[in-house]
Structure 1
Amino acid sequence: MWSTALVLASGLASPALAAKLIASHFSGPVYTLDLSLTNATSGTLKVASQVNNGCGRIPSWITIDKASNSVYCFDESWYGSGVLAQFAADDQAVLTPKASAPTLGNTVFGALYGGDDDKSFVITAEYSPSTITTYKLPLSASSKPVQKLSFTMPKPGPRPDRQDKPHPHAAFLDPTKEFMVVPDLGADLTRIFKINKATGELTACPTAPSLSGDGPRHGEFLETKGGLRYYSLNEVASSVGMYNVTYEGEGGCLTLDLAQTLSTFGDRKGQTTEKAAELRIAGDFLYASNRNDQKFGKELDSLAIFRLDTAGDGQMTFQELTNSHGFFPRPFQINKAGDLVAIGGQTTANVAIVARDAATGKLGPLVANINLPPRGTNGGEDGLSAVLWYE
């Protein structure tokens, strides 16, 4: 049971506490949201401003570089071309289009990397073209890819409806920022690349296989007392895999060795109609979003909570499922203070703010909620696409 004492201990009782968030919608808008907390368990979330059609036709992902007051947005357009957009943010996080570059389209993720500041290039993951592409920053209308890598596989995977070919779904820097890891949902593996920071060029290292039918989609690194770990969110199997990380592989490559896999539903496997989406780590806890389990009622899906053995080998222990307060929770993020979670319901097209207790890892009451229409269709690529704290 979530108690008021826990909420007060988390520091949420400060009156009129304010925060900013950035959200995107598959229909085109990119929003700045204002969160104001009036007491320990309630607040308001409102649209402060929005940019329409500044990120192409189907904004799918956003990346924030707070140091330069920049927001990057990635277009999942399926029409043979897309847009990579950069917005400038003022002191109220109001966004103004700054630059854009043409892309191949169907981008589902993007991240900054390389250069002396690790922000000189941007990588994009293209789902259906089975490619990753890199661009030099700053962007302009004449920007061209620095590198495009295409992937193939000899035959469909164990879930041919979703693993018909390689589907790179994200790209993450390791803690040294010398390597890029790319979860490939279609090929049941994580691709690993060594980064040339000066040129942005990626050189392939040996891949890290997942279990057959896992479908890796998202991931995050964590330093534990026993060493560095990488946690993989597997969409197709609705599971999380924990990998031991070393840097003594072939050619000095980063290597990932699978050590543990747990279902995001605890004591049962995910159904074919259910799809895990994203994971986040805060302190000793890992959270994963489950789409279409409706564990908490009609159109109320779950987040899974795992405790991590950060004092040891990083092993996961399933704790519980908690209410996501939305349908198809695609994106979510924990704020830096660790006391609030922003959860985006893709189909319900809502952003829910939920209290979090850092000591127990538990998620508490719904603090604020906002709908950002139009609502998505069940299982469709529409509705809310991304939400991040601007901090």
Structure 2
Amino acid sequence: MGTTERGLRAYIGSFTTAGGAGLTTAAVDPGTGALTALHTTDVLPNPSFLAPSPDGRHLYAVSETTDGTAAAFALTPEGPAPLGPPVPVGGADPTHLTLTSRHLVTAHYTSGSISALPVRADGTLGGLAAVLRHEGSGPRADRQEGPHAHAVRADPSGRWLLSVDLGTDSVRCCTLDPASGTPAVHAEVRLRPGSGPRHLAFHPGGAFAYVINELTPTVTVCRWDAATGTLTPLGETRLLPDAGDAPGAPETFPSALVLSRDGRFAWAANRGHDSISVLAIDPSDGHATLVGTVPCGGHWPRDLALHPGGRHLYAANERSGDVTWFTLDPHTGLPVRAGSLAAPAVSCVVFA
């Protein structure tokens, strides 16, 4: 069943080991963007990150546990229904996933690797196809003693995979063999030592990519060349006003980044500072300028999600246990708080 038949739904992932419900399904008000919880299921431990299929019929989740797995669900009127048992991903603590070239690719924080699982025509997952292990470290001994793959994303052309590693301060541009599911490193791009890259988002025009850094409150602006698979860092933009990381201020760990559909704005979540940064994007050179910050509506915003219509922004506030939604000013990009839904230990929000 697709979105048209059942209406738009939000799917919310949370940490079951911290009191979360697992997977929560919520109705989305078509006018206000408000969320209303419909049902929950805890069949998968710690479904911390989710990805819907392009047709909206299936949902995929990682299980962020030591014995990492991924699972497929059919999206039914009664909620996500498991499509077979969870499948091992060959890595510890998977934190992210993406769908590309008929495969589900997952990133594993603790083991510092990515892996690929085939996605069958009926949406079910096949067994582990291949694992690519990262190597290296960074200058911060407490967080960068080794590789920590935090996110993996397919580029807009579908030709490349970009694996973001917090532990090695780098992004690996990879190919993925569509037949075997084997990922291979095409190039490794080094970012500023100690920056701790966490997630990456592409500009809708495809020419730029933005890497949010967890260990410093910045976003690295990059040029992206899909013809050659080349990522070129251009500079960094601070995510906090000058007083945001002054002595005595809470330490800030940025987490998530989304861009507007027209590419004019980007929004970044800041854990610790508990804010959302608003960035204005220059379409000519991709440069990002900090417009300002607004409170995230809770504590420890782990994820941000943009409504498919682009009118509303959602913050998954992990430690306060809520999803807060905002109405976006189309001229300034500034979010205005509109409501919230209780969601203990929330980690992710997607729409289908």
Per the normalisation by structure 1, the TM-score is 0.80
Residue 65 of structure 2 aligns to a residue whose secondary structure is coil
Q: State the alpha-carbon separation in 2 of the partners of residues 124 and 389 from structure 1.
A: 19
Q: State the alpha-carbon separation in 1 of the partners of residues 204 and 304 from structure 2.
A: 22
| 246 and 19 in structure 1: CA distance in 2 versus 1, 3 angstrom threshold | closer
Q: CA deviation at 1:273?
A: 2.5
Q: CA deviation at 1:47?
A: 1.6
Per the normalisation by structure 2, the TM-score is 0.88
Is the CA contact (8 Å cut-off) linking 1:51 and 1:96 kept in structure 2?
Answer: no
Residue 149 of structure 2 aligns to a residue whose secondary structure is coil
Q: Among 64, 86, 108, which residue is 2:72 paired with?
A: 86
**What is the aligned partner in structure 2 of residue 30 from structure 1?**
23
Which has the greater radius of gyration? 1
Q: State the alpha-carbon separation in 1 of the partners of residues 339 and 332 from structure 2.
A: 21
Aligned residues: 333
Q: State the alpha-carbon separation in 2 of the partners of residues 140 and 233 from structure 1.
A: 32
Q: State the alpha-carbon separation in 2 of the partners of residues 272 and 62 from structure 1.
A: 29
**What is the aligned partner in structure 1 of residue 113 from structure 2?**
131
Q: Among 301, 305, 308, which residue is 1:336 paired with?
A: 308
Q: CA deviation at 1:361?
A: 0.9
Segments of 4+ moved more than 6 angstroms:
none
Is the CA contact (8 Å cut-off) linking 1:356 and 1:363 kept in structure 2?
Answer: yes
Q: State the alpha-carbon separation in 1 of the partners of residues 11 and 58 from structure 2.
A: 11
Is the CA contact (8 Å cut-off) linking 1:20 and 1:93 kept in structure 2?
Answer: no
Matches within 5 A, 1:157-176: 157-176=138-157
**What is the aligned partner in structure 1 of residue 203 from structure 2?**
222
Is the CA contact (8 Å cut-off) linking 1:71 and 1:87 kept in structure 2?
Answer: yes
| 316 and 140 in structure 1: CA distance in 2 versus 1, 3 angstrom threshold | closer
Letter paired with 1:109: H
The answer to whether residue 47 in structure 2 is matched with residue 47 in structure 1 is no
Matches within 5 A, 1:136-215: 136-138=118-120, 143-153=126-136, 156-215=137-196
Q: Which sections of structure 1, spanning at least 5 residues, go unmatched?
A: 1-17, 115-119, 294-300, 374-382
Q: State the alpha-carbon separation in 2 of the partners of residues 278 and 68 from structure 1.
A: 23
Deviation readout 1:265-310 (Å, 9 max, x if unpaired): 14367578210001000030011000011xxxxxxx1000110011
Is the CA contact (8 Å cut-off) linking 1:126 and 1:132 kept in structure 2?
Answer: yes
Deviation readout 1:20-55 (Å, 9 max, x if unpaired): 210011015201012337x86xx8533201111x22
Q: State the alpha-carbon separation in 1 of the partners of residues 250 and 304 from structure 2.
A: 22
Q: Among 282, 301, 322, which residue is 1:309 paired with?
A: 282
Matches within 5 A, 1:9-20: 19-20=8-9
Residue 55 of structure 2 aligns to a residue whose secondary structure is helix
**What is the aligned partner in structure 2 of residue 360 from structure 1?**
332
Q: State the alpha-carbon separation in 2 of the partners of residues 362 and 35 from structure 1.
A: 21
Q: Among 91, 94, 109, which residue is 1:107 paired with?
A: 94
Q: CA deviation at 1:358?
A: 2.1
Letter paired with 2:119: L
| 46 and 140 in structure 1: CA distance in 2 versus 1, 3 angstrom threshold | closer
Letter paired with 2:251: T
The answer to whether residue 350 in structure 2 is matched with residue 388 in structure 1 is yes
Is the CA contact (8 Å cut-off) linking 1:246 and 1:256 kept in structure 2?
Answer: yes
**What is the aligned partner in structure 2 of residue 117 from structure 1?**
none
Q: CA deviation at 1:72?
A: 0.5
**What is the aligned partner in structure 1 of residue 256 from structure 2?**
278
**What is the aligned partner in structure 2 of residue 233 from structure 1?**
212
